[in-house]
């Protein structure tokens, strides 16, 4: 009978990534058939009963969706302040899916939704440096000096330096529209960079995350990601992780 590594089994339940599963195993909160297991690499079979923090878990089928977030919604499943969330726009049968990264309330664009903990970790872990592309409009005409500053890095918080590659699409004295490429995921990174430089962000839309884009999506719409697209995404992540 085939066995599955315990961390993979836990990750396949959608609870967390394999890396986080290893931490849970080592911390002693995982039990298999009533026995505490702290051994990394422990193998489990389909008939085994696995508990994490006293709750039984089961492998689930992984689901993947693209969602075009409109402005006015926050990227969370629950908000203590009572603000509208993206889950107000999604049917209940998708409420178990988690967003890959976040967009602030007034930002729009692509959000990947999934229950694949490993994929979430691969796309968001700081060491991964997964590219994300945004279309941004600001008030005023950006200077080449400020574009250079964004490329070289701007300290947006103490000990936090943000970097961005800027490609100007259109500008005049009143506004600039550009594409901005990020390899980080710092909170409100683009807005903070422009605020420090003295500009105000008028619109901010994520148009691509790794290999996935907004193509074919209307604002507020969601669609399943095709198996071929998931395969391309995972191949891309494998390539950049091996560099």
- For the annotated catalytic residues, the residue numbers are 104
Query: Which residues, 6 or more positions from 123, have their beta carbon under 8 angstroms from its beta carbon?
Result: 100, 101, 112, 130, 209, 210, 237
243 vs 222: CA distance, rounded Å: 33
Give burial (CB, 10 Å; 0-12/13-18/19+) of 91: exposed
239 vs 220: CA distance, rounded Å: 32
Cα three-residue angle 233-43-50, rounded to 5 degrees: 90
Q: How many CA atoms lie within 13 A of 205 on its CB side?
A: 17
13 vs 4: CA distance, rounded Å: 13
Q: Which two three-digit tokens encode residue 176? A: 């600039």
DSSP letter for 231, please. Answer: H
Residue keyed to tokens 């200077």 = 143
- Using CA atoms of 5, 40, 124, 154 in order, give the dihedral in degrees to the nearest 10: -160
């Amino acid at each position: 009978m085939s066995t599955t590594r315990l961390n993979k089994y836990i990750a396949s339940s959608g609870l967390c990534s394999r890396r986080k599963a290893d931490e849970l195993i080592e911390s002693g909160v995982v039990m298999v058939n009533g026995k505490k297991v702290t051994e990394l690499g422990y193998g489990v079979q389909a008939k085994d009963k696995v508990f994490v923090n006293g709750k039984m878990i089961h492998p689930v089928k992984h689901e993947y969706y693209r969602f075009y977030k409109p402005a006015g919604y926050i990227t969370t499943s629950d908000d203590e302040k009572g603000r509208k969330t993206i889950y107000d726009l999604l049917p209940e049968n998708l409420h178990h899916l988690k967003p890959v990264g976040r967009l602030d309330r007034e930002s729009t664009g692509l959000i990947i939704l999934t229950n694949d903990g490993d994929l979430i970790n691969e796309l968001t872990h700081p060491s991964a440096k997964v590219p994300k592309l945004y279309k941004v409009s600001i008030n005023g005409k950006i200077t080449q000096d400020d574009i250079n500053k964004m490329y070289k890095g701007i300290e947006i918080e103490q000990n936090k330096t943000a970097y961005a590659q800027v490609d100007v699409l259109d500008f005049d004295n009143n506004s600039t529209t550009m594409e901005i490429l990020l390899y980080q995921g710092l909170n409100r990174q683009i807005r903070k960079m422009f605020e420090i430089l003295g500009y105000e962000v008028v619109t901010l839309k994520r148009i691509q995350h790794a290999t996935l884009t907004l193509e074919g999506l209307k604002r507020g719409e969601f669609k399943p990601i095709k198996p071929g697209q998931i395969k391309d995404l995972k191949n891309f992540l494998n390539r950049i992780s091996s560099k």
